[in-house]
Amino acid sequence: MHIRKAKPEDMKQVLERIRELAVFEKEPDAVVITEEDLIRDGFSEQPLFYCFVAEEENELLGIALYYYRYSTWKGKTIHLEDLIVKEDQRGKGIGFELYKAIIQKGKEEGVRRIEWAVLDWNTPAITFYENTGAKVFSDWRVAQMDENGIANFLIQNS
């Protein structure tokens, strides 16, 4: 198994891992992106995301998808959107190696923070992150507005 940067031809398997995560997070119908979306958005002149993959014999056992953000307090940061290991491959250190690749990338890029979200019921992940020195905050809440919320807001405030 080795860790490498993703290529456009990996996006079919990347999408499979993303769908697996959606099932794990109890949102099996939430994924609406396509392989074509991933190729366009990750490999254009100004990519919206980057991705490391854990590969063995042409199979992607896991992915770590990330992008850059800007903090008014810290400057350039990395947001780790998804760290996914194929269910039958968990517990073999693959997630750790992908996580390590993200942290190494952050160090190389000189970011002052790497951040991600974890569901409060995913205690194995929380324990893993805390054991690696990450702080898992309980006092911050994630806020999101979906497509319907965006449309309704704009209708109500036009």
Q: Which residues are catalytically annotated?
A: 129
Q: How far apart are CA 39 and CA 52, in angstroms?
A: 14
Q: How far apart are CA 71 and CA 126, in angstroms?
A: 23
Structure tokens at 149: 């919320």
Q: Is 145 exposed, middle or buried (0-12, 13-18, 19+ CB in 10 A)?
A: exposed
Ranges assigned E (strand) in 47-126 = 50-56, 59-71, 75-85, 114-115
Antiparallel, parallel or unpaired: β 75-85 and 114-115: parallel
